Protein backbone atom coordinates (compact mmCIF):
# COMPACT_ATOMS: atom_id res chain seq x y z
CA UNK A 1 0.00 0.00 0.00
CA UNK A 2 1.42 3.38 -0.99
CA UNK A 3 0.39 7.03 -0.92
CA UNK A 4 -0.73 7.08 -4.58
CA UNK A 5 -3.11 4.16 -4.03
CA UNK A 6 -4.59 5.65 -0.84
CA UNK A 7 -5.04 9.10 -2.39
CA UNK A 8 -6.69 7.56 -5.47
CA UNK A 9 -9.12 5.63 -3.28
CA UNK A 10 -10.03 8.75 -1.29
CA UNK A 11 -10.65 10.80 -4.46
CA UNK A 12 -12.93 8.04 -5.79
CA UNK A 13 -14.94 8.03 -2.54
CA UNK A 14 -15.59 11.76 -3.07
CA UNK A 15 -16.46 11.62 -6.78
CA UNK A 16 -18.00 8.11 -7.12
CA UNK A 17 -16.82 8.39 -10.73
CA UNK A 18 -13.62 6.90 -12.20
CA UNK A 19 -13.44 9.39 -15.05
CA UNK A 20 -13.75 12.44 -12.77
CA UNK A 21 -11.29 10.89 -10.31
CA UNK A 22 -8.77 10.41 -13.11
CA UNK A 23 -9.25 14.03 -14.20
CA UNK A 24 -8.76 15.34 -10.65
CA UNK A 25 -5.59 13.26 -10.24
CA UNK A 26 -4.24 14.22 -13.70
CA UNK A 27 -3.84 10.57 -14.70
CA UNK A 28 -5.64 8.21 -17.09
CA UNK A 29 -8.71 6.23 -16.08
CA UNK A 30 -6.78 3.00 -16.66
CA UNK A 31 -4.13 4.20 -14.20
CA UNK A 32 -6.88 4.82 -11.63
CA UNK A 33 -8.22 1.30 -12.13
CA UNK A 34 -4.71 -0.14 -11.89
CA UNK A 35 -4.01 1.62 -8.57
CA UNK A 36 -7.28 0.43 -7.05
CA UNK A 37 -6.71 -3.18 -8.18
CA UNK A 38 -3.22 -3.15 -6.60
CA UNK A 39 -4.63 -1.65 -3.40
CA UNK A 40 -7.33 -4.30 -3.16
CA UNK A 41 -4.72 -7.03 -3.75
CA UNK A 42 -2.55 -5.64 -0.95
CA UNK A 43 -5.50 -5.46 1.44
CA UNK A 44 -6.98 -8.77 0.34
CA UNK A 45 -10.51 -7.42 -0.01
CA UNK A 46 -12.82 -5.68 -2.49
CA UNK A 47 -13.26 -1.94 -1.94
CA UNK A 48 -15.29 -0.84 -4.97
CA UNK A 49 -18.24 -2.19 -6.96
CA UNK A 50 -18.35 -1.25 -10.64
CA UNK A 51 -20.49 -2.70 -13.40
CA UNK A 52 -18.59 -3.61 -16.56
CA UNK A 53 -18.11 -0.59 -18.83
CA UNK A 54 -19.56 1.87 -16.30
CA UNK A 55 -17.65 4.84 -14.87
CA UNK A 56 -19.82 5.18 -11.74
CA UNK A 57 -18.76 3.14 -8.70
CA UNK A 58 -20.08 2.34 -5.25
CA UNK A 59 -18.26 1.20 -2.13
CA UNK A 60 -18.40 -2.24 -0.59
CA UNK A 61 -18.85 -2.53 3.18
CA UNK A 62 -15.08 -2.95 3.48
CA UNK A 63 -14.67 0.12 1.28
CA UNK A 64 -16.88 2.18 3.60
CA UNK A 65 -14.86 1.01 6.61
CA UNK A 66 -11.56 1.75 4.88
CA UNK A 67 -12.35 5.45 4.35
CA UNK A 68 -11.48 6.35 7.97
CA UNK A 69 -8.34 4.18 7.94
CA UNK A 70 -7.19 5.65 4.62
CA UNK A 71 -7.74 9.20 5.88
CA UNK A 72 -5.70 8.54 9.04
CA UNK A 73 -2.99 6.83 6.98
CA UNK A 74 -2.69 9.83 4.65
CA UNK A 75 -2.59 12.30 7.57
CA UNK A 76 0.10 10.25 9.28
CA UNK A 77 2.11 10.16 6.06
CA UNK A 78 1.85 13.95 5.75
CA UNK A 79 2.92 14.41 9.38
CA UNK A 80 5.87 12.10 8.82
CA UNK A 81 6.91 14.03 5.72
CA UNK A 82 6.70 17.32 7.61
CA UNK A 83 8.70 15.83 10.49
CA UNK A 84 11.51 14.76 8.15
CA UNK A 85 11.79 18.33 6.83
CA UNK A 86 11.95 19.95 10.26
CA UNK A 87 15.17 20.39 12.19
CA UNK A 88 15.15 18.20 15.28
CA UNK A 89 14.90 19.99 18.61
CA UNK A 90 18.18 19.83 20.51
CA UNK A 91 17.80 19.21 24.22
CA UNK A 92 20.17 21.20 26.43
CA UNK A 93 20.43 20.87 30.22
CA UNK A 94 21.85 23.85 32.09
CA UNK A 95 22.41 24.01 35.85
CA UNK A 96 23.48 27.00 37.90
CA UNK A 97 23.50 28.20 41.46
CA UNK A 98 20.26 29.87 42.51
CA UNK A 99 21.58 33.44 42.63
CA UNK A 100 23.07 33.36 39.11
CA UNK A 101 19.90 31.82 37.68
CA UNK A 102 17.73 34.45 39.35
CA UNK A 103 19.82 37.60 39.08
CA UNK A 104 22.12 37.23 36.08
CA UNK A 105 20.99 34.71 33.49
CA UNK A 106 17.18 34.72 33.66
CA UNK A 107 16.92 37.12 30.68
CA UNK A 108 19.23 34.88 28.64
CA UNK A 109 17.08 31.83 29.38
CA UNK A 110 13.93 33.75 28.49
CA UNK A 111 15.38 34.81 25.12
CA UNK A 112 16.51 31.27 24.32
CA UNK A 113 13.16 29.75 25.23
CA UNK A 114 11.27 32.45 23.31
CA UNK A 115 13.41 32.25 20.17
CA UNK A 116 13.02 29.68 17.41
CA UNK A 117 16.54 28.30 17.71
CA UNK A 118 15.74 24.58 17.79
CA UNK A 119 16.91 24.24 21.41
CA UNK A 120 14.75 22.72 24.10
CA UNK A 121 16.22 24.33 27.22
CA UNK A 122 16.04 22.75 30.68
CA UNK A 123 17.35 24.88 33.57
CA UNK A 124 17.84 23.80 37.19
CA UNK A 125 19.42 25.23 40.37
CA UNK A 126 21.97 23.35 42.47
CA UNK A 127 24.91 23.84 44.81
CA UNK A 128 28.28 24.22 43.07
CA UNK A 129 29.56 20.78 44.04
CA UNK A 130 26.38 19.17 42.74
CA UNK A 131 26.79 21.03 39.45
CA UNK A 132 30.29 19.59 39.03
CA UNK A 133 29.03 16.11 39.92
CA UNK A 134 26.30 16.44 37.27
CA UNK A 135 28.81 17.66 34.68
CA UNK A 136 31.11 14.75 35.50
CA UNK A 137 28.29 12.21 35.02
CA UNK A 138 26.96 13.92 31.83
CA UNK A 139 23.59 14.51 33.55
CA UNK A 140 23.83 18.19 32.57
CA UNK A 141 25.56 19.81 29.60
CA UNK A 142 26.55 23.22 30.97
CA UNK A 143 27.10 24.49 34.50
CA UNK A 144 27.26 28.10 35.69
CA UNK A 145 28.85 28.59 39.08
CA UNK A 146 31.06 30.80 41.26
CA UNK A 147 33.57 28.07 42.04
CA UNK A 148 36.36 26.48 40.03
CA UNK A 149 36.59 22.99 41.48
CA UNK A 150 39.03 20.25 40.53
CA UNK A 151 37.27 17.36 38.83
CA UNK A 152 38.88 14.87 36.41
CA UNK A 153 36.66 15.75 33.44
CA UNK A 154 35.33 19.22 34.28
CA UNK A 155 36.60 22.34 32.52
CA UNK A 156 35.79 25.71 34.11
CA UNK A 157 35.92 28.69 31.75
CA UNK A 158 35.97 32.15 33.42
CA UNK A 159 33.11 34.38 32.27
CA UNK A 160 33.20 37.53 34.38
CA UNK A 161 34.14 38.96 37.77
CA UNK A 162 32.21 41.30 40.02
CA UNK A 163 32.74 43.00 43.35
CA UNK A 164 31.00 42.43 46.65
CA UNK A 165 28.92 45.19 48.26
CA UNK A 166 26.92 45.67 51.44
CA UNK A 167 23.14 45.81 51.17
CA UNK A 168 20.92 47.06 53.97
CA UNK A 169 17.51 48.56 54.56
CA UNK A 170 16.89 51.91 52.86
CA UNK A 171 16.38 53.39 56.32
CA UNK A 172 19.65 52.03 57.75
CA UNK A 173 22.41 54.37 58.91
CA UNK A 174 25.25 52.70 57.05
CA UNK A 175 27.25 55.22 54.94
CA UNK A 176 27.93 54.95 51.20
CA UNK A 177 31.38 53.57 52.00
CA UNK A 178 31.62 51.35 55.05
CA UNK A 179 34.54 49.69 56.84
CA UNK A 180 34.16 46.08 58.04
CA UNK A 181 34.83 47.23 61.60
CA UNK A 182 31.65 49.31 61.44
CA UNK A 183 29.49 46.25 60.70
CA UNK A 184 28.21 44.19 63.61
CA UNK A 185 27.93 40.47 62.92
CA UNK A 186 24.88 40.32 65.19
CA UNK A 187 23.10 42.22 62.39
CA UNK A 188 24.55 40.16 59.55
CA UNK A 189 22.50 37.96 57.23
CA UNK A 190 25.22 35.70 55.89
CA UNK A 191 24.54 34.68 52.32
CA UNK A 192 26.00 31.72 50.45
CA UNK A 193 29.59 32.65 49.73
CA UNK A 194 32.68 31.58 47.84
CA UNK A 195 35.49 29.93 49.86
CA UNK A 196 37.68 33.05 49.48
CA UNK A 197 34.97 35.12 51.12
CA UNK A 198 34.92 32.80 54.13
CA UNK A 199 38.61 33.52 54.73
CA UNK A 200 38.01 37.27 54.39
CA UNK A 201 34.94 37.05 56.64
CA UNK A 202 36.81 35.16 59.35
CA UNK A 203 39.66 37.67 59.27
CA UNK A 204 37.36 40.59 60.16
CA UNK A 205 34.89 38.84 62.43
CA UNK A 206 36.88 35.92 63.80
CA UNK A 207 35.52 36.24 67.33
CA UNK A 208 31.90 36.82 66.39
CA UNK A 209 31.23 33.73 64.30
CA UNK A 210 28.22 32.54 66.29
CA UNK A 211 26.30 35.81 66.19
CA UNK A 212 25.13 36.08 62.58
CA UNK A 213 22.06 34.61 60.88
CA UNK A 214 22.19 33.07 57.40
CA UNK A 215 20.04 32.21 54.37
CA UNK A 216 20.92 30.21 51.25
CA UNK A 217 18.65 31.53 48.47
CA UNK A 218 18.04 34.92 46.91
CA UNK A 219 14.30 34.65 47.52
CA UNK A 220 14.90 34.24 51.25
CA UNK A 221 17.39 37.10 51.28
CA UNK A 222 14.76 39.35 49.66
CA UNK A 223 12.52 38.97 52.70
CA UNK A 224 15.09 40.17 55.24
CA UNK A 225 15.55 43.83 54.48
CA UNK A 226 12.56 45.33 56.13
CA UNK A 227 14.74 44.95 59.24
CA UNK A 228 16.48 48.28 59.70
CA UNK A 229 20.02 47.38 60.79
CA UNK A 230 20.41 44.03 59.03
CA UNK A 231 23.10 43.82 56.36
CA UNK A 232 24.65 41.31 53.99
CA UNK A 233 27.64 41.21 51.69
CA UNK A 234 26.55 40.06 48.24
CA UNK A 235 27.77 40.25 44.63
CA UNK A 236 26.77 43.52 43.00
CA UNK A 237 24.40 41.69 40.61
CA UNK A 238 22.24 40.60 43.55
CA UNK A 239 22.21 44.18 44.83
CA UNK A 240 21.11 45.47 41.40
CA UNK A 241 18.14 43.11 41.35
CA UNK A 242 17.23 44.19 44.90
CA UNK A 243 17.22 47.82 43.74
CA UNK A 244 14.54 47.05 41.18
CA UNK A 245 12.12 45.08 43.33
CA UNK A 246 12.89 45.98 46.94
CA UNK A 247 14.30 49.36 48.06
CA UNK A 248 17.74 48.80 49.58
CA UNK A 249 20.82 50.83 50.35
CA UNK A 250 24.02 49.73 48.58
CA UNK A 251 27.28 50.55 50.35
CA UNK A 252 30.78 49.99 49.02
CA UNK A 253 33.34 48.38 51.33
CA UNK A 254 36.47 50.40 52.03
CA UNK A 255 38.33 47.09 52.37
CA UNK A 256 37.22 45.07 49.41
CA UNK A 257 36.22 41.43 49.82
CA UNK A 258 37.42 38.89 47.22
CA UNK A 259 35.80 39.24 43.80
CA UNK A 260 33.09 36.85 42.71
CA UNK A 261 34.22 34.96 39.61
CA UNK A 262 31.63 33.25 37.43
CA UNK A 263 32.55 30.15 35.46
CA UNK A 264 30.97 28.18 32.63
CA UNK A 265 31.61 24.50 33.33
CA UNK A 266 31.50 21.67 30.80
CA UNK A 267 32.77 18.11 30.47
CA UNK A 268 36.05 17.81 28.56
CA UNK A 269 34.58 14.74 26.79
CA UNK A 270 31.46 16.23 25.23
CA UNK A 271 28.74 13.96 23.89
CA UNK A 272 28.82 14.39 20.08
CA UNK A 273 25.04 14.81 19.80
CA UNK A 274 25.24 17.74 22.26
CA UNK A 275 27.97 19.70 20.48
CA UNK A 276 25.64 21.77 18.29
CA UNK A 277 23.33 22.74 21.18
CA UNK A 278 26.27 23.65 23.43
CA UNK A 279 27.74 25.78 20.65
CA UNK A 280 24.42 27.60 20.15
CA UNK A 281 24.16 28.28 23.89
CA UNK A 282 27.76 29.51 24.11
CA UNK A 283 27.24 31.90 21.18
CA UNK A 284 24.01 33.20 22.74
CA UNK A 285 25.76 33.58 26.12
CA UNK A 286 28.63 35.52 24.58
CA UNK A 287 26.21 37.86 22.83
CA UNK A 288 24.14 38.29 26.00
CA UNK A 289 27.23 39.30 28.01
CA UNK A 290 27.65 42.29 25.67
CA UNK A 291 24.13 43.60 26.23
CA UNK A 292 23.25 46.59 28.42
CA UNK A 293 20.99 44.35 30.54
CA UNK A 294 23.92 42.17 31.51
CA UNK A 295 26.55 44.88 31.83
CA UNK A 296 24.37 47.08 34.03
CA UNK A 297 23.74 44.13 36.36
CA UNK A 298 27.41 43.49 37.18
CA UNK A 299 28.68 47.07 37.52
- Over residues 27-46, the mean pLDDT reads 91
Cα dist. 284→101, 113, 280 in Å?
16, 12, 6
20 and 68 inside one domain: yes
Least confident range of 72-81, 84-93, 228-237: 84-93
Of 1-5, 25-29, 114-118, 252-256, give the lowest mean pLDDT range: 114-118
| CATH code for the domain of 288 | 3.40.190.10
168 shares its domain with 247: yes
Q: Is 55's pLDDT higher than 90?
A: no
How confident is the model at residue 38, as a pLDDT?
A: 92
Cα distances from 131 to residues 143, 145, 170, in angstroms, run 6, 8, 35
What is the pLDDT averaged over residues 16-37?
90
State yes or no: pLDDT of 224 exceeds 70.
Answer: yes
Quick one: 127 and 235 in the same domain? Answer: no
Q: Lowest-confidence range among 79-88, 245-254, 282-291?
A: 79-88
- Percent share of the chain, pLDDT over 90: 60
How far apart are alpha carbons 221 and 235 in whole angstroms? 13
Could you tell me if 178 and 195 lie in one domain?
A: yes
Residues 120 and 236 grouped into a single domain: no
What domain range is 271 assigned to? 90-161+261-297
Q: What is the pLDDT of residues 146-155, one digit of tens each?
A: 999 999 999 9
Residues 100 and 149 in one domain: yes
Co-location of 152 and 267 in the same domain: yes
Domain boundary among 46, 70, 85: 85
End residue of a domain, out of 31, 55, 85: 85
My answer on whether 156 and 266 are in the same domain is: yes
**In the structure, what pLDDT confidence band is assigned to residue 222 with cuts at 50, 70 and 90?**
confident
Q: Are residues 67 and 14 in the same domain?
A: yes
Q: pLDDT per residue over 155-165, tens digit each? A: 999 999 999 99
pLDDT the model gives residue 294: 93
Q: Looking at residue 85, what is its pLDDT?
A: 66
Kindly state whether residues 130 and 197 are assigned to the same domain.
Answer: no
When pLDDT is averaged across residues 141-149 and rounded to a whole number, the result is 96
Record the pTM.
0.71
Residue 53 pLDDT:
61
Q: Which of 56, 85, 114 is the last residue of a domain?
A: 85
Give yes or no: residues 244 and 266 share one domain: no
Count how many domains the chain has: 3
Q: What is the pLDDT of residues 233-275, one digit of tens each?
A: 999 999 999 888 878 899 999 999 999 999 999 999 999 989 9
pLDDT at 66 over 70: yes
Say whether both 142 and 174 belong to one domain. Answer: no
Chain mean pLDDT for the chain = 90
85-139: pLDDT as tens digits: 666 678 899 999 999 999 999 999 999 888 766 688 999 999 999 999 999 999 9
Q: Residue 281 pLDDT > 90, yes or no? A: yes
Q: What's the pLDDT band for 207 if we cut at 50, 70, 90?
A: low
Task: Tell me which of 65-79, 111-125, 133-147, 197-211 is least confident.
Answer: 197-211
Q: Is-contact 181 165, C-beta < 8 A?
A: no
Amino acid sequence: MNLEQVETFLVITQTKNLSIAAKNLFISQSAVSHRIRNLEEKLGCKLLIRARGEKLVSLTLKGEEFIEIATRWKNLWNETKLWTLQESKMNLKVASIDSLNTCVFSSLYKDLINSNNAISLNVSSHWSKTIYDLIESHDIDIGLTLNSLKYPNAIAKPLFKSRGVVISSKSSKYPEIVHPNDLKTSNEILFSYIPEYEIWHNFWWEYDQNEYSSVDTVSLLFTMFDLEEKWAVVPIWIARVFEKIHPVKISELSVSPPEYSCYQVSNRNLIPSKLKAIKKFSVALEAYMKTDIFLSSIK
